[in-house]
């Protein structure tokens, strides 16, 4: 049985500890939630294989559901289909930008070439001044899901939530 | 026929029906190769991830320090998922931690190339490049494994590994097509590492069965695409592709270089000093 609305609302209030403007529902990592007897079963899929926030997220989901009245909660880790940034909603992308993180641009399409040589870094708009005069400094940033960019126009570094 | 065990228990082999033998045999045939295969995949990532983590705080520039630590995190995360699955397949209740921290060197199943010391930046990058191009090709196929959890883990790892391969390919271009010194150092490293690449493509009985069952991709069949991807980048980086010669092997059977023992001593010391500790 699909979990009742108040349970969905409780889980919808659980935020990603590393990006605290996105809930776990906005991120698309809660794949299903149902009631089996007296137990609320939540299917969660990891973002990155090594994402250190996953344990905290599981813990927060359990706590939120218990506060909403669930007697027992079980969190299942599911691997298929694999998480993609395409599941982040348009509204959540806008909140990311307002928070100062450039949202993933477009879909996480698989390039035809495995290792594209002579590629130009995508132009990503600065989340502060909206300028496209930006440079990529590194594809790896402060967390697994972000790259480091620099805005030439406003002379500030910013982070880009990279497509996966 | 009677067998005496140390504790005096008696066990009549003839009482074992053919069916029981068939079941035991089947469990061995299916579970042992699967857990063995998962240990190979997990150990390759655990050991390479540890080598990359050694750069934390020592990177040549801040961005690279962060990049190498990020890749270490991805690899150790993948290892965690794969070793956890290996524990399930083996059915003895072992966790990823018990595989990582409480096995001896001879029980590790990683290929030799990942355990070699991190060397200079050129060595780390060249090794990362050769290995991640292989991993990318292998994971691309593993995404359609008949084992659904393994396929899901592979799909995620494939996307992560594409970032790793791009990062190291970019650096191969910069170093190879950079100064005379960077060119020489990265070429020397590629030449040294080449003899460790053959092991990545070895298929033995363990994997042959899994390939037939559609669980594992055939590593041997990836060799040509690996060679052409690697050659394409090396040539663009003005580097020479070494000739195939004698290839080192042994990691899959637990025969390792002396370097693995030193790595494990560091990696395992906290878990072994305080077994069962939690925080």
Give the per-residue pLDDT at B92.
93
Give the per-residue pLDDT at B124.
98
Question: B165 to chain A nearest CA, in Å?
Answer: 7
Instruction: Please enumerate in sequence order all residues whose Cβ is within 8 A of that of B176, keeping only pairs 6 or more positions apart, or say none.
Output: B182, B183, B186, B187, B234, B237, B238, B239
Question: A108 to chain B nearest CA, in Å?
Answer: 9
CB contact under 8 Å between B66 and A138, yes or no, is yes
- Given the DSSP bridges, would you call strands A30-36 and A39-44 parallel, antiparallel or unpaired? antiparallel
Question: A50 to chain B nearest CA, in Å?
Answer: 4
Summarize pLDDT for B229-240 with one digit per residue, the tens.
Answer: 999 999 999 999
Separation between Cα atoms, residue A109 and residue A55, nearest integer Å: 29
CB contact under 8 Å between A140 and B152, yes or no, is no
Give the per-residue pLDDT at A38.
87
B-proximal residues of A, 103-122, CB under 8 Å: 108, 114-117
Contact residues, chain A, for B76 at CB < 8 Å: 50
ipTM of the complex: 0.88
**Tokens (6 digits) for B279:** 């925080």
Q: Does the structure show a pLDDT above 60 at B12?
A: no
Give the per-residue pLDDT at A105.
83
Separation between Cα atoms, residue B95 and residue B126, nearest integer Å: 32
What CA–CA distances, in Å, run from A1 to A14, A63, A75? 22, 21, 16
Q: What angle do CA A83, A51, B127 make, to 5 degrees?
A: 95
Question: A148 to chain B nearest CA, in Å?
Answer: 8
Contact B107, B252 (CB under 8 A): no
DSSP secondary structure letters along A136-150: EEES--SSTTEEEEE
pTM recorded for the entire structure: 0.89
Span of A94-108, B25-39, B125-139, B168-182 with lowest mean pLDDT: B25-39
Q: Please state at what angle helix A5-12 crosses helix A54-67, rounded to 10 degrees.
A: 140
Interval B205-229 mean pLDDT: 96
CATH number at A5-77: 3.30.300.130
Residue A116 pLDDT grade (very low, low, confident, very high; cuts 50, 70, 90): confident
Summarize pLDDT for B44-102 with one digit per residue, the tens.
Answer: 999 999 999 999 999 999 999 999 999 999 999 999 999 999 999 999 999 999 999 99
CB contact under 8 Å between B137 and A82, yes or no, is no
CB contact under 8 Å between A115 and B70, yes or no, is no
CB contact under 8 Å between A140 and B167, yes or no, is yes
Q: Does the structure show a pLDDT above 90 at B27?
A: no
Interval A55-62 mean pLDDT: 94
Separation between Cα atoms, residue B26 and residue B222, nearest integer Å: 29
Whole-number mean pLDDT of chain A? 90
Contact residues, chain A, for B151 at CB < 8 Å: 79-80
Interval B205-214 mean pLDDT: 95
Q: Tell me which residue in B73, B155, B159 faces A50 most closely, judged by beta carbons.
A: B73
Instruction: Provide, rounded to the nearest whole percent, the portion of chain B with pLDDT above 90.
Output: 87
User: From the candidates A18, A78, A79, A146, which should be mutated to test the interface with B, based on the most B CB atoms within 10 A?
Assistant: A79
Interval B190-209 mean pLDDT: 96
Q: Tell me which chain A residue has its CA closest to the CA of residue B132.
A: A115
Give the per-residue pLDDT at A144.
86
Interval B264-279 mean pLDDT: 92
Q: Does the structure show a pLDDT above 80 at B143?
A: yes
Question: B97 to chain A nearest CA, in Å?
Answer: 14
CB contact under 8 Å between A115 and B81, yes or no, is no
Indicate the fold that domain B30-273 takes in CATH. Answer: Ferritin (1.20.1260)
Contact residues, chain A, for B74 at CB < 8 Å: 48-50, 144
Domain span(s) for CATH 3.30.300.130 in chain A: 5-77
Give the per-residue pLDDT at B4.
43
Q: Does the structure show a pLDDT above 50 at B11?
A: no
Contact residues, chain B, for A84 at CB < 8 Å: 159
Summarize pLDDT for A131-151 with one digit per residue, the tens.
Answer: 999 999 988 998 888 999 999
Separation between Cα atoms, residue B96 and residue B80, nearest integer Å: 6
Q: Which residues pair with A135 in a beta bridge?
A: A150
Whole-number mean pLDDT of chain B? 91
Give the per-residue pLDDT at B19.
59
Contact B143, B155 (CB under 8 A): yes
Residue (of A46, A57, A58) closest to A15 by Cα position: A57
């Amino acid at each position: 049985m699909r979990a009742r609305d108040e349970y969905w609302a409780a889980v919808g209030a659980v935020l990603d500890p590393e990006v605290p403007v996105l809930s776990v529902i906005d991120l698309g990592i809660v794949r299903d939630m149902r009631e089996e007897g007296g137990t609320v079963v939540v299917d969660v899929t990891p973002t990155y294989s090594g994402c250190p926030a996953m344990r905290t997220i599981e813990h927060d989901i359990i706590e939120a559901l218990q506060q909403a009245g669930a007697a027992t909660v079980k969190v299942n880790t599911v691997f298929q289909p694999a998480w993609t940034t395409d599941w982040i909603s348009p509204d959540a992308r806008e909140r990311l930008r307002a928070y100062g993180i450039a949202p993933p641009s477009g879909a996480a399409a698989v390039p035809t070439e495995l290792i594209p040589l002579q590629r130009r870094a995508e132009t990503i708009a600065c989340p502060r001044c909206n300028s496209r005069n930006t440079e990529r400094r590194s594809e790896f940033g402060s967390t697994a899901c972000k790259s480091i960019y620099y805005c030439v126009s406003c002379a500030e570094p910013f982070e880009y939530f990279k497509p996966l | 026929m009677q067998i005496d065990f140390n504790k005096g228990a008696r066990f009549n082999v003839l009482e074992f029906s053919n069916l029981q033998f068939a079941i035991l045999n089947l469990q061995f045939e299916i579970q042992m190769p699967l857990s063995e295969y998962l240990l190979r995949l997990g150990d390759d990532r655990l050991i390479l991830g540890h080598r990359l983590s050694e750069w934390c705080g020592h990177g040549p520039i801040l961005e690279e320090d962060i990049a190498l630590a990020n890749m270490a995190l991805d690899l150790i995360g993948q290892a965690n998922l794969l070793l956890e699955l290996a524990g399930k397949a083996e059915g003895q209740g072992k966790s990823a931690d018990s595989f990582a921290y409480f096995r001896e060197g001879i029980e590790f199943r990683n290929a030799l190339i990942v355990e070699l010391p991190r060397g200079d930046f050129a060595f780390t990058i060249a090794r990362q490049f050769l290995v991640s191009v292989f991993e990318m090709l292998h994971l691309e196929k593993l995404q359609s494994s008949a084992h659904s959890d393994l396929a899901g883990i592979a799909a995620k790892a494939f996307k992560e590994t594409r970032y790793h391969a791009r990062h190291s390919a970019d650096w191969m271009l910069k170093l190879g097509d950079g100064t005379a010194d960077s060119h020489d150092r990265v070429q020397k490293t590629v030449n040294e590492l080449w003899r460790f690449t053959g092991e990545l493509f070895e298929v033995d009985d363990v994997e042959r069965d899994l390939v037939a069952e559609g669980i594992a991709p055939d590593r041997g069949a990836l060799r040509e695409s690996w060679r052409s991807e690697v050659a394409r980048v090396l040539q663009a980086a003005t580097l020479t592709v070494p000739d195939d010669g004698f290839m080192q092997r042994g990691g899959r059977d637990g025969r390792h270089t002396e370097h693995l023992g030193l790595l494990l001593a560091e990696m395992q010391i906290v878990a072994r000093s305080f077994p069962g500790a939690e925080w």
